[in-house]
A and B are shown apart, each in its own frame.
Chain A
Amino acid sequence: MPQDLPAAARVALLRALRRFRLPRLPLVRHLLLAVAGGVLLFVITLELSPFDNYELGQIAAYAIAIAGLSLLTGVNGQISLGHGAFMAVGAYTLAELQAHQSVNFVLQLLAATAVAAAAGLVIAVPATRLQGPYLAGMTLLLALALPSLSDRYSSFFGGDQGLPATAPGAPGSLDPQRWLAWLQILAALVVLVLLANLLDSRFGRAFRAVRDDEVAAATLGIHVARTKVTAFMVSAACAGLAGALVALSTGVVSTGEFPLSLSIFLLAGMVIGGAGTLMGAWWGAIAVVYLPNQWSQSLAGAFHLGHLVSANLAVIIFGAALVLVMLLAPAGIQGALRWAAGRLAAWAVAGRGGGNVSKQERQDGHDGAVPALGDGGRPDPIRSTGGRGGA
């Protein structure tokens, strides 16, 4: 019968979903996912050329910045139009430390993170006391103020050439690009695990409560201003670390590396990947690394675009993508993936009555109903709501 095949597939999918259960404890679950992702990326780096590894490392670094921005906008409901400036703060902290002190590489990264968080505090305290567009305007101003500052204090900022940034040497005969990519991927996974735990904690719940309704959050005893400042500091710290890691790849830190368009690319990457999701940061980072260079070059080549058009193609595409994603699919790529996973799970469950599903499984299907997916829930694909049921 023609119906047999889909029915069998449904049963197989339902059984697979039932067996595939992630641990309940957030720390264990997030660590497990990170280790799995790390192993996957490690295997990929072994296959890639040095240049591809260079780009993979950059993707990991940008994923950190976009994840921080995603936490700020998607989870806490604030917006920063100048996160590139915090990347610059982190990168310059690293470069200045390397120029004047001989401190451990890990300490350099931690210092970059801490200084960017402090800069975030300075911006956030006056801007987050009020609801409204103040934070957006101030961060935009910050991103635009940076180039003129480097003109004025060129000895500190290293002028047009900028300052050198050196990556730690690779052990043995290891390819330095591969070694750097490992470091950047490791940093990204550590940060994402920390962020995922933060979002599952008291702080994460406070971030969401403030986003949904500040007055209601305040009546529940949440200190609204402090929560908003904390979220902004966390996201600025992520940007600072990302800036330092990107500087290790490029080898040089100058204010020309952090134009306003970088801040816009970060925002666009976050929106395209899916605001408020940590996985979405990876999709956004891929777009931020590949679109301005390879993709826009191949597009320009394929359509025989003029020099002026191809030079501005990335900016046009990111701008159009920001507008279109907000109009048509505000949940971004990760939202679309979740929606698809939800449809697939719903399809599997809907077919359980028709096929040769055992009685035991049919009962499980009742109390273990598939929760609504794609509504900004947990990142795990399926979650059993009933406590019992032993599939």
Chain B
Amino acid sequence: MRLFVDVTLSGVANGMVFASLALALVLVFRATNVVNFAQGAMGMLTTFIAFSVLEHGVGYWVAFAVALACGLVLGGAVQLLVIRPVQSRPPLNAVIVTFGLLILFEGIAGAVWGNSNRGFPAAFSQSGLTIGRTKVAFSHFDVFVVLAVTLLMTAMVALFRATTLGLRMRATAFAPDTARLLGVRVSRLLTLGWALASLAGSLAGLLVAPTTSFSPTFMDLVLVYAFTAAVVGGLHSPPGALVGGLVTGLALSYVGGYLGGALEPLGALALLVVVLMLRPEGLFGAPAARRV
């Protein structure tokens, strides 16, 4: 029972992180029909920037804000410089470009900061909270993770549902040609969409870094778990990213807790296979009719 509670709690915390990166994947996929396999590496790069800022002795929150701002800029720059030119070609080309960016960023991070494992500081204590008289595997930092991702999700919902900018962005993703005819600046909004997605990815990087060995490849597995989460939720659905993230986080936590941590990647693969066989459109997706 103790183990079950602990595993569930850490599954929730991990799931929220997967949800934020899955949200980034979904935002980009919805707008441009491309899964950005470099999303994790972009978050890794901005987290390393935060690491350098921290080494200059400024406060944690300054570094946090710098990383998020760099994420925004990096996302927009990547879309403008390398994604926009391949958008008119088959989607496979864009996938190959994102995969090239993935290792390019990892190589750059390795060249600048080295490939060795380091530690990244956490905003709050990482030792478990004491509830009543028992200590549970849920720390102040985990509370912060849940709150930060909830805040991000709420802000995104507010942006998309309550502002005209959000309405235009939804129109861009839903029917780009019609939106363009109605005077929406489609390509500008696509750049903004990539920037916002990259912000979510940067947040994921900052939240994962303290809990793992911090090296240029630390986001690789997080990215594929987030991809699993996005597929579980339905690749087009932002609420699906949240639910998919939690489902994936819990499932992997149970696999890791009861069967051994080394089986987590295999567990994710199994989850992906099950979802694709039983409900390929994901929990929140509608089966898509293919247009001819």
Contact = CB atoms under 8 A, between A and B. Distances in A.
Interface in A29-81: 73, 77, 79, 81
Given A79-B92, A311-B115, A319-B103, 16 more contacts: A79-B95, A126-B273, A132-B235, A134-B272, A136-B95, A140-B223, A144-B220, A148-B265, A151-B262, A264-B99, A267-B99, A309-B111, A322-B99, A322-B104, A323-B100, A326-B100
B263 A152 contact: yes
Interface residues of A, number: 48
B264 interface: yes
A368 B85 CA distance: 38
A216 to B, nearest CB: 8
Contacts of A141: 224, 227-228, 265, 268-269, 272
14 contacts: A130-B280, A132-B235, A141-B265, A144-B221, A148-B265, A149-B262, A215-B292, A261-B103, A308-B110, A308-B113, A319-B100, A319-B107, A320-B100, A326-B100
A327 B224 contact: no
Main SS class of interface, A: helix
A148 B264 contact: yes
B117 to A, nearest CB: 14
A268 B154 CA distance: 40
Contact of B107 (A131, A145, A315): A315
A141 B268 CA distance: 8
A155 to B, nearest CB: 13
B103 A138 contact: no
Interface of B: 29, 34-35, 37, 82, 85-86, 89-90, 92-93, 95-97, 99-108, 110-115, 217, 220-221, 223-224, 227-228, 231, 235, 260-266, 268-269, 272-273, 276-277, 280, 290, 292
A262 to B, nearest CB: 11
Nearest to B96: A326
B43 to A, nearest CB: 16
Nearest to A318: B103
A219 B90 CA distance: 22
B187 to A, nearest CB: 17
Contact of B37 (A131, A140, A320, A327): A140
A321 interface: yes
Interface in A67-117: 73, 77, 79, 81
Nearest to B82: A323
Contacts of A187: none
Contacts of A189: none
A268 B235 CA distance: 27
A133 interface: yes
Nearest to A74: B92
Interface string A144-184: 11001101100000000000000000000000000000000
Contact of B290 (A151, A215, A309, A330): A215
Interface string A318-348: 1111110011001000000000000000000
B263 to A, nearest CB: 6
A144 B96 contact: no
For the complex of A and B, 3 pairs with smallest distance between CB atoms? A322-B100, A319-B104, A145-B265
A126 B224 contact: no
Contact of A140 (B89, B104, B224, B273): B224
Contacts of A260: 217, 220
Nearest to B35: A133
B107 A126 contact: no
A313 B266 CA distance: 31
Contacts of B93: 326, 330
A267 B97 CA distance: 11
A194 interface: no
Contact of B110 (A144, A145, A312): A312
Contacts of A350: none
B290 A137 contact: no
Contacts of A79: 92, 95-96
A142 interface: yes
Contacts of A264: 99, 102-103
B269 A327 contact: no
Contacts of B101: 319, 323
Contact of A138 (B29, B223, B264, B269): B269
A219 to B, nearest CB: 9
B92 A77 contact: yes
